[in-house]
Chain A
């Protein structure tokens, strides 16, 4: 059993003048047992102002505007989403044999960090809400800029320390973007039709990492190589691997190209990133993709006619990528695994070169199953997330019953279908790491390591009100 505790002090001031000018100020101080004894407390003030322009006298004439509000918020917030007890050295067991019997052994398993403290974000939000024609059309537009400092993450540390990683606070990351929402009552009357749409653009950028701003390498392929790189000026957790150029077409191609010690004619040809004539893991790795989408969106259409209601929800994401790390098995061409169909189109001879990108099974098989650009796929998708059709019995119909006051029957389909070019099971991915530690995922985003597909759920239901 694990225990954690938090102690919080909170104060808030709300002020409103004639419903036109609104102000909220909050200050909170939190102390968490998850942090080092030196720095357990964090203080997080925030302030919000809003101006409801539509309440001003000069707006009274523009009666087509039903609501107009400008908002701004600035505040600090803290994150303590790490495992319990991570700031202290933990002792695990590792036994030995003495006197021909088990001798219980204890060993340190994690490194003490008395300075571990809150990850702090400062966020500026500015927005505008506009309702017109008695809110028949309602828009929101939000801009935000969030700077996260002292990011909590599982950092690699020199192996000669006796540990391989430790949870630390470091780095500075910016997330900024726009969110736009629209609600529209398209049709009113017997037949109603409402549309609600939203779209969000987020841009993620690393502003600083550590003392020397050395890149952070993270993830681990089946061959023990890194899979992700986080570097200043780039988004967090870009994919990192070999760049696949094709296969060695013939002897001349093999002789004149940089190669790995196991390269043969027809084997995989990677780019020699460091230009030393030799293909080597990590040293010849480069950024091969990024999981960050350009935008995500959602669209809900609701229809009503008499007792019937129909609700259709679409969601989507555009421009992100996936690193299909399951390929370390699916493209293991040793001959002892079931493999991806594309291996059928492999190089067999200079005359029968296949698709030009799938290598022979005769050599250099190990580096082909290490992280490379052929694992990167588009993660863009559109999903019919939910369709619900319902019928509400009229009160007139129910009047005969003394008990039932309301009744609705409905059926819904969750996750009807997903439109995507992604070859895996689900384009919305992220691997859960072994440590069960939320922060350790932050630096290894967008990885599909044989994730479970999303289930499609059919529901039939009755709502009764008594």
Chain B
């Protein structure tokens, strides 16, 4: 046993690498083809790109989710049932108040808003360290705050209180939120953000920068927030500021939406699309065309229509809402199309965004978010909420919109009953009606119905009409109550973030 050392084979001891002193840098590998976050948000150019990235959230959302939840859910539009392609059934469920917490479009809408919020938060926490002029820094901050407020305003109106995230997560360990904030907290933050944005943002941009959020956009959105909370005095104060910023109505209603007339004098804020760039174009023309219309509505014989088409179809009630002689009707919708056999097919469609295609599948139409006509109607509404005045400014504003549409003025004590507006409630109704037709298919109707307290009654009536006139409405559709005015929180976040679900 003494000499078993001779059996020992020891000593294979090797160190494959020992570059002492440079261990850290040796293991620091960062991607070259894409940018790592640690090296981004450092220069003025980085921030400029980050702000454009934040805007891209709204162009993504604008393509479907924006109209799906703002317009198609309302009584203005519905969809054309497609028996041979059930691929978008969940969209129909949104229209029919059947949407469940696991629905894909619901989750996407939530996700798109929060992706936008993240992009804004990243800018907001980094920008202070970045060397650039104070003026530009303020502007970029203002834009990020405007966009964040826009997303939270969408969320709080559709879901109620939501997780309020004002800084980005730093690691998966803190990816959870603190739970749903109260709706008032969300509104309070939206108001703070929009006030700061309004202070920071310029009233106008040079033509190379046009499309960015302006002071007018922040103030108009802020007024909408106040009006949703029924704070009409606060809303009026900010709307008066918008009035001083030099906006004016475009004289011909249909011209407002022309791609050749983007960002016109009436435009307060619109989502920018560019038909010549594949990823940046819009395609409302296709989505809103009846799927049965072949190339007649789109003018594009190369694209076969199917499940992705026939959405946001105007209801009969919407068509009937236009008074005789309203010039806006023909600019906004068609009651049907003439097929190749020469027969008129009575499936109405939205044509506000039909200005031809640039390439197959691509159009150059922007989408309006806030127009000056909306601002004027908001002012009229706020004034009326302060107390009915027989005549005066509220009527002037209302009639300014009506006159452009080729309609006779509404007045107190008018000999024609339909044109007579004689008390506060009648003026409210007149405003809601005017907003419906003036702003049709611009994603205001649902929110107007909810904030006016009319959503349950109006949507119940709409549902009864739909059920009576269609055989394809599933059982249990349009069972409205106030709970149904809020969407369910996406199940994924209920599970992953332990959020309380809205009662359905």
> Shortest Cβ distance from B154 into chain A, in angstroms?
13
Give the contact stretch, choosing among A90-98, A287-295, A374-382, A422-430: A90-98
Task: Answer whether residue B118 sits at the interface, using C-beta atoms and an 8 A cutoff.
Answer: yes
Query: Quick check: B110 and A105 within 8 Å, CB to CB?
Result: no
Cβ–Cβ contact A95 & B56, under 8 A = yes
Interface membership of B403, Cβ < 8 A: no
- Name which of A64-72, A163-171, A235-243 contacts chain B: A163-171
Contact A283/B102 with A85-B36, A115-B171, A156-B496 known, Cβ cut-off 8 Å: yes
A15 at the interface (CB under 8 A from B): yes
Q: A158 contacts which chain B residues (CB < 8 A)?
A: 163, 175-177, 492-493, 496-497
Residues of B within 8 A of A104 (CB): 49, 52
**B27 pairs with A9, CB closer than 8 A:** no
Cα(A155)–Cα(B23), bound, Å: 30
Docked pose: A37 CA to B28 CA in angstroms? 8
Cβ-defined contact, B163 with A160, below 8 A: yes
Residues 5-20 of B at the A interface (beta carbon under 8 Å): 7-19
- Report whether A106 and B177 are in contact in the complex, using a CB–CB cutoff of 8 Å: no
Q: Which of A1, A11, A94, A335 contacts B53 (CB 8 A)?
A: A94
B474 & A262 in contact (Cβ 8 Å cutoff)? yes
Say if the beta carbon of A437 comes within 8 Å of chain B.
no
Q: Which residues of chain B come closer than 8 Å to A417, judged between CB atoms?
A: none
B35:A160 contact, CB within 8 angstroms: no
B81 CB to closest chain A CB, in angstroms?
12
**Stretch of A179-187, A217-225, A301-309, A398-406 lying at the B interface:** A217-225
Q: Within 8 Å CB of B49, what residues of A?
A: 104-106
In contact, B111 and A90 (Cβ under 8 angstroms): no
Interchain nearest-CB distance for A3 vs B (Å): 5
Q: How far is the CA of A217 from the CA of B494 in the complex (A)?
A: 13
Chain A residues near B36: list those with CB within 8 A. Answer: 85, 88-91
Does A106 lie within 8 Å of B50, measured CB to CB? yes
Query: Is residue A300 within 8 Å, beta carbon to beta carbon, of the partner chain?
Result: no
Q: Which residues of chain A are near B60, meaning CB under 8 Å?
A: 94
* Contacts A7-B17, A99-B208, A161-B169; A32 near B27 (Cβ below 8 A): yes
Contact B59 A8 (CB under 8 A): no
Determine which of A8, A161, A166 lies in contact with B165 in the assembled complex, contact meaning CB atoms within 8 Å: A161
Kindly report which residue of chain B lies nearest to residue A98, judged by CB atoms: B211
Q: Is A52 an interface residue (CB 8 A)?
A: no
Is B490 at the interface (CB under 8 A from chain A)?
A: yes
Q: Could you tell me the distance between the alpha carbons of A16 and B280 in the complex, rounded to whole angstroms?
A: 71
Q: A97-B280, A223-B104, A262-B474 are in contact. Are A91 and B16 (CB under 8 A)?
A: no
Q: Choose one: A156, A163, A283; the contact of B118 (CB below 8 Å).
A: A163
Set of chain B residues within 8 Å of A96, measured between Cβ atoms = 52-53, 55-56, 59, 211, 272, 280
User: Is there a chain A Cβ closer than 8 Å to B448's Cβ?
Assistant: no
B162 at interface, CB cutoff 8 A: yes
Please measure, in the bound complex, the distance between the C-alpha atom of A223 and the C-alpha atom of B90, giving whole angstroms: 9
Cα A94 to Cα B34 with chains together (Å): 13
Of residues 88 to 109 in B, which have CB atoms within 8 Å of A's CB atoms? 89, 93, 98, 100, 102-104, 107
User: What sequence of 0s and 1s flags, for each residue 232-265 of chain A, a beta carbon within 8 Å of any chain B beta carbon?
Assistant: 0000000000000000000000000000011000
By the criterion CB–CB under 8 Å, are B115 and A335 in contact? no
The answer to the question of B170 belonging to the interface, with a C-beta cut-off of 8 Å to chain A, is yes
Report whether B107 and A334 are in contact in the complex, using a CB–CB cutoff of 8 Å: no
Cα A248 to Cα B49 with chains together (Å): 56
Q: Flag whether A275 is at the interface (Cβ < 8 A).
A: no
Once bound together, how far apart are the Cα atoms of A89 and B36, in whole Å?
Answer: 6
Contact residues, B31-53 vs A (CB, 8 A): 31-38, 40, 46, 49-53
Report if A33 contacts B (CB, 8 A).
yes
Assuming the contacts A102-B280, A158-B496, A334-B86, asked whether A108 and B118 have C-beta atoms less than 8 A apart, the reply is yes
How far is A96 from B60 in the complex, measured between Cα atoms in Å?
A: 10
Chain B residues near A75 (CB-CB < 8 A): none
Residues of A within 8 A of B102 (CB): 224-225, 280-283
- CA of A40 to CA of B23, assembled, Å: 11
Sorting the interface of chain A by its residue count into under 10, 10 to 19, 20 to 34 or 35 or more gives 35 or more
Once the chains are docked, how many angstroms separate the CA of A14 from the CA of B14? Answer: 13
Q: Which of B319-356 contact A (CB under 8 A)?
A: none
A62 at interface, CB cutoff 8 A: no
Tell me the nearest residue of chain A to B19, going by C-beta. A7
User: For the complex, what is the distance from the CA of A111 to the CA of B107, rounded to whole Å?
Assistant: 20
Contact size class for B? Answer: 35 or more
Least CB distance from A288 to B in Å reads 17
- With a CB–CB cut-off of 8 A, which chain B residues contact A84? 29, 31
Whether A8 lies near B16 (C-beta < 8 A) is yes
Indicate whether A434 reaches chain B with its CB closer than 8 angstroms.
no
User: In A1-47, which residues have CB < 8 Å from any B CB?
Assistant: 1-5, 7-18, 31-34, 37, 40
Q: Which of A1, A12, A106, A157 contacts B32 (CB 8 A)?
A: A1
Knowing A98-B52, A106-B53, A225-B102 touch, does A113 contact B107 (C-beta < 8 A)?
no
CA distance A219 to B12 in the complex (A): 47
A184–B71 Cα distance when bound, in Å, is 76
Name A107's contact: one of B31, B56, B490, B493 (CB within 8 Å).
B56
Instruction: Point out the residues of chain A lying under 8 angstroms from B490, CB to CB.
Output: 159
Q: Which residue of A lies closest to B98 (CB)?
A: A261
Provide the residues of chain A in CB contact with B131, threshold 8 Å. none
The answer for the CA separation of A102 and B279 in the assembled complex, in Å, is 10
> Quick check: is B273 within 8 A (CB to CB) of the other chain?
yes
Chain B 471-503 near chain A by CB (<8 Å), digits 1 or 0: 000111100000000000011110111000000
Q: Does A100 contact B (CB under 8 A)?
A: yes
In the complex, which of the residues A8, A34, A101, A161 contacts B114, with contact meaning CB atoms closer than 8 Å?
A161
Give bound CA distance, A101 to B206, whole Å. 13
Measured in the bound complex, the distance between the Cα atoms of B495 and A104 in whole Å is: 36
A162 lies within 8 A of chain B by Cβ: yes
The reply to whether the CB of B135 lies closer than 8 angstroms to some CB of chain A is: no
Q: Within residues 64 to 93 of chain B, which ones have a CB less than 8 A from any CB in chain A? A: 84-87, 89, 93
Q: What B residues does A89 contact at CB under 8 A? A: 36-38
Docked pose: A381 CA to B84 CA in angstroms: 38
**Could you mark each residue 111-135 of chain B with 1 if its beta carbon is under 8 Å from any beta carbon of chain A, else 0?**
1001101110110000000000000
- Please, what's the 1-or-0 string for A349-382, where 1 marks a CB less than 8 Å from any CB in chain B? 0000000000000000110000000000000000
In Å, the complex CA distance between A101 and B273 comes to 9
Could you mark each residue 335-348 of chain A with 1 if its beta carbon is under 8 Å from any beta carbon of chain B, else 0? Answer: 11000000000000
Inter-chain CA distance A206–B10, complex, in Å, is 40
Complex: A113 Cα to B38 Cα, angstroms: 12
Bound form: Cα–Cα A375–B280 in Å? 39
20 CB < 8 A contacts A-B: A2-B31, A4-B29, A17-B4, A31-B23, A85-B30, A94-B57, A96-B56, A98-B211, A99-B209, A103-B52, A105-B52, A106-B49, A108-B119, A108-B168, A112-B171, A156-B492, A158-B163, A159-B496, A166-B172, A225-B102
Q: A105-B56, A160-B165, A365-B86 are in contact. List 9 more A-B contacts (CB 8 A).
A: A2-B32, A8-B16, A10-B16, A33-B28, A101-B274, A158-B175, A158-B492, A160-B163, A217-B495
Nearest 5 Cβ contacts at the A-B interface: A162-B118, A89-B37, A105-B53, A105-B52, A224-B104
Question: A: which residues have CB within 8 A of B?
Answer: 1-5, 7-18, 31-34, 37, 40, 84-85, 88-108, 111-115, 155-164, 166-168, 214, 217, 223-225, 261-262, 280-283, 334-336, 365-366
